[in-house]
Amino acid sequence: MYKIITSDLDETLLRMDGSISQANIDAIAAASARGVKFVPNTGRSFLTVQELLKKLHLYQQPGEYVVSYNGGVVVENQDNRVIVSNQMPFAEAKRVFEIMTQFDVDIHVYTLDHLYIYRPRVDDMAYLKTRGVTFDEMTGSFDQFADDRIMKVIVMNPDLTVRRAVYDAITAAFDQINCTYSSGIYMEVNHAGVDKGTAILDLGRQLGVGADEIMAIGDNANDLGMLTKVGMPVAVANGIPEVKQVAKFVTPHDFESGVADAIHEFVL
């Protein structure tokens, strides 16, 4: 029996417009009724998933959790209490930002509880709106974040060629850094060793749950960190080839009911 189900959100649990199907809601509720913890595992801030938690009956619940910022932080849903924090060192984040400014991208700087965007793009703002994500436009020097907890820094451009160029420049500048792609439009940077997998294993250790008792569900490159570390890696039908290659199970359906497929197959 799996004790934790952890799932990516965008294009895995959530439809392209950010909504969630009743099939996924019902399956998660049934698993929760059996004592299985459902842990959203996202690149986004935990503050942006509060409405989703209400739909899943996990909002403000003690003993229930969210992994956010690609493993940058784990919070308990009650009062959003920080359980695990894996922030970026300021000097590292500043250097990453400086490299990113050389390319045709907008840049997201995520602190623990806020999002700032440098040179926001119209298409990016439209996408974020579907996810209920709010932000402030970044002005001034990056030094304004010197006293903040920086979770991750990412770029947005729908042109993969541009994102790859940023990826190459950043990985060349550091001996160790964690760069991943997500949602078909972002390239994300976390501190070395920080990913969705290390975070869910950290949470599992605190709860007495081993890797072989965790099922992870994902679709994109930033999910590989968790899919390669848990006992049951699952890819939804719309997952990229690299995700399907490491999965032990590929769901018959995409984000419409792929999470429900996995829960019915292995839990219910």
Q: Are residues 141 and 17 in the same domain?
A: no
Give the whole-angstrom CA distance, residue 235 versus residue 153: 26
Q: Are residues 251 and 123 in the same domain?
A: no
Quote the pTM value.
Answer: 0.89
Give the whole-angstrom CA distance, residue 211 versus residue 226: 10
Q: Are residues 70 and 117 in the same domain?
A: no
Helix or strand (DSSP H, E) at 118:
strand 114-118
Q: Are residues 73 and 136 in the same domain?
A: no
Number of domains in the chain: 2
178: helix, strand or coil: strand
50 contact partners, CB below 8 Å, separation of at least 6 = 59
Q: Are residues 121 and 179 in the same domain?
A: yes
Note the pLDDT tens digit of each residue in 50-64: 999 999 999 999 999
CB contact at 8 A, 136 and 128: no
Single-letter amino acid, residue 268:
L
Cβ neighbours around 25 below 10 Å, total: 17
Q: What is the CATH number of the domain that holds 41?
A: 3.40.50.1000
Where would I find the H helices in the chain?
22-33, 50-55, 90-100, 122-130, 160-173, 196-207, 224-227, 241-246, 258-266
Q: Are residues 115 and 142 in the same domain?
A: yes
Task: Identify how many contiguous H helices and E strands the chain contains and give both numbers.
Answer: 9, 14
Note the pLDDT tens digit of each residue in 64-114: 999 999 999 999 999 999 999 999 999 999 999 999 999 999 999 999 999
Q: What is the CATH number of the domain that holds 98?
A: 3.30.1240.10
Q: Are residues 82 and 215 in the same domain?
A: yes
Task: Note down the domain range covering 164.
Answer: 90-190
Q: What is the pLDDT of residue 29?
A: 98
Tell me the Cα Rg of the chain: 17
Q: What is the pLDDT of residue 94?
A: 98
Q: Distance from first CA to last CA of the chain, Å, rounded? A: 10
Q: What is the pLDDT of residue 1?
A: 85
Q: Among 157, 190, 223, which residue terminates a domain?
A: 190
Give the whole-angstrom CA distance, residue 37 versus residue 62: 11
Q: Among 170, 190, 210, which residue terminates a domain?
A: 190
Give the whole-angstrom CA distance, residue 99 versus residue 93: 10
Q: Are residues 161 and 101 in the same domain?
A: yes
Place of tokens 């700032």: 116
Give the whole-angstrom CA distance, residue 245 versus residue 152: 27
Q: Are residues 245 and 222 in the same domain?
A: yes
| 119 has a pLDDT exceeding 90 | yes
Q: Are residues 97 and 184 in the same domain?
A: yes
Q: What is the pLDDT of residue 132?
A: 87
Q: Are residues 81 and 198 in the same domain?
A: yes
Q: Among 190, 215, 247, which residue terminates a domain?
A: 190
Q: Are residues 94 and 186 in the same domain?
A: yes
Note the pLDDT tens digit of each residue in 205-222: 999 999 999 999 999 999
